[in-house]
Every structure is written in structure tokens, then in C-alpha cells.
Structure 1
């Protein structure tokens, strides 16, 4: 008979991790002094707690969370300027020196902040799609066998 290759049972491959299998090496992390205001501090406290409870946050992730929190705070500041119609520099448009109007620079700031939130939030697992992938949710027994080419890494 010789050396027959072992036969692997169906479903005998890697197991999906569940949220119960994750555990962060820390139980809390203080807000860093680089946070730009109280809004950023509040976001830090809430999001770091969620990520630690989920078991997906480590101290080396702190710079990403810092960028996320500061972007959120700057987005709120820009929103306040955009919606302050009474201020000379408020609103969605501003008057130029020649009397024409242009899009407010605060709209561009808000859009940049949203892009930064999207990128850093995805890296941290703070968006629904990434969270599903990170935690393996929605991949029960009746699901497809398809996986990501990087799943085994």
C-alpha cells in the first residue's frame, strides 16, 4: 500500500475565531495628552473600551485610535462651522474677495476627516464590514466555503 496521503475530513480545516477567543493584553488605556479636545477624549474612552472588550485592541494600536479620535473631533468642529450660518466664515459656501462664492474650506476639512475616520476605523475594526470579518460573524455552518486568500496567515 505504501505512503497514502492523509485524508482530511470535511470542515477539518482552520476554525473561525469567535469574539470569546480574543482577549486584549490590556484592560484599559488612559487617553493620551495628544487628543485635541474633550470630544476626542470621549471618543477615546468609548471606543477603546469597546475594542478592549472585543479583544481586538493592543497598546500598539493606540496611534491609530488617536488619529481616529482626533479626526472625529475635527469633523465635529468643521460641522459646527458649516452649520453656523451667522458667522462670516460659516455655512457651506463663503464669499471670495471678488464677490463670488466658493465651497467653504470647512466642507473639505469635514470630508478629509470622514476619509481618515473611514480608513483608521476600518483598520481598528470599527466599521460593520471589517468587524464582521475580524470576528468571523455571519459565517455559520450553512455559509459558503469561500475564504480570503490571506485567512491562513
Structure 2
């Protein structure tokens, strides 16, 4: 076995780039007039800034971010209705015409908005798993050569 070269896994010595691999073609994008309220505008400003700084946002992504921000604002409106126990149509349940109770339509609407946020956020890279996949985490910045406690299994 004297002078045999060590066997290395394909790509074993390569390191992933940890810096931004792409830069957005824009540096800012104004909130569009279709945003439904100030909550949506504030979210637009914060999320567009984050996405642009990451280099993952282009002008053609604006409709997705618009829908994301409006969904968030609608979710907040539904939350306010659900927690307004004093309002006739507020709370988690409502009374029907025959006197029975049923789940408030605002609860169902809130669930729909959360589902939209989840889908749109994933498309934009705003959820943790997609963000890790998009930015190439799992390389040297997350343990690198040292490995982790599950390597031995």
C-alpha cells in the first residue's frame, strides 16, 4: 500500500460560496398602490429590502411580493375580528339564525391567508427551509469540516 494516493469523494475539497452569488438588478422598489393598507406597505418595505440585499429579488417578483404583503394584511384584519369578542360578528364562533353556533368565517379566512403566506413566502425564499436551500447553507458556515452530532449515525 506504500505510495497510493488517498481516495477522495467527488467534490470533497470544494467549498460552497458563502457570499452572495447573485445581485438583484434593482436596489430599491417603491411600494405599489395596490397594497391594501399601511401594514402591507410596511411589510413590502422590509421584505423587499431583505430580498434585494440577498440578491434574490427582481422586478418580475413584485406581483408575488404584492400578494404576500396583502395576504399578511388580510390575516391581521381577520385576527382583529376573531379577537374582537364584543363585536356581533367577532370571536372564534358566531351564532347562526337558528341559535346554534359555528366557526367564525374569519377563522377560515385567516387559515386561507396563512396558507397563501406560506406558499408565496416559499416562492420568494422567505421561509427558513427555502432560504437555506437558496443561499446554500449547510456548508462550512454550519459546522464545515467538524461535522455534526449525527455524522456517526
Q: TM-score, normalised by structure 2?
A: 0.82
SS for the counterpart of 1:21 is: coil
SS for the counterpart of 2:78 is: helix
Q: Does 1:59 align with 2:59?
A: yes
Whole-Å separation in 1 of the counterparts to 2:59 and 2:14: 27
Match of 2:132 in 1: 132
Q: For the Cα contact (< 8 Å) 2:15–2:139, is it kept in 1?
A: no
Instruction: For structure 1, list consecutive stretches of 5 or more residues without a partner in the other structure.
Output: 1-8, 144-153
Instruction: For structure 2, list consecutive stretches of 5 or more residues without a partner in the other structure.
Output: 1-8, 148-153
Match of 1:105 in 2: 105
Select between 81-90 and 15-24 the one with higher mean Cα deviation: 15-24
Whole-Å separation in 1 of the counterparts to 2:17 and 2:64: 23
Match of 1:34 in 2: 34
Residue 14 of structure 1 and its aligned partner are, at CA, apart by: 8.6
Residue 109 of structure 1 and its aligned partner are, at CA, apart by: 0.6
Q: For the Cα contact (< 8 Å) 1:17–1:135, is it kept in 2?
A: no
SS for the counterpart of 1:20 is: coil
Q: How do 1:1-153 and structure 2 match up within 5 A? A: 10-11=10-11, 16-140=16-140, 141-142=144-145
Q: CA RMSD in A?
A: 2.1
Whole-Å separation in 2 of the counterparts to 1:15 and 1:114: 37
Residue 20 of structure 1 and its aligned partner are, at CA, apart by: 2.2
Q: Indicate how the Cα distance of structure 1 residues 28 and 14 shifts in structure 2: closer, same or farther if over 3 A, else same.
A: farther
Q: CA deviation digits over 1:82-107, x for unaligned, max 9?
A: 00000000000000000000000000
Residue 10 of structure 1 and its aligned partner are, at CA, apart by: 3.1
Q: Indicate how the Cα distance of structure 1 residues 86 and 19 shifts in structure 2: closer, same or farther if over 3 A, else same.
A: farther
Whole-Å separation in 2 of the counterparts to 1:105 and 1:19: 46
Q: For the Cα contact (< 8 Å) 2:68–2:121, is it kept in 1?
A: yes
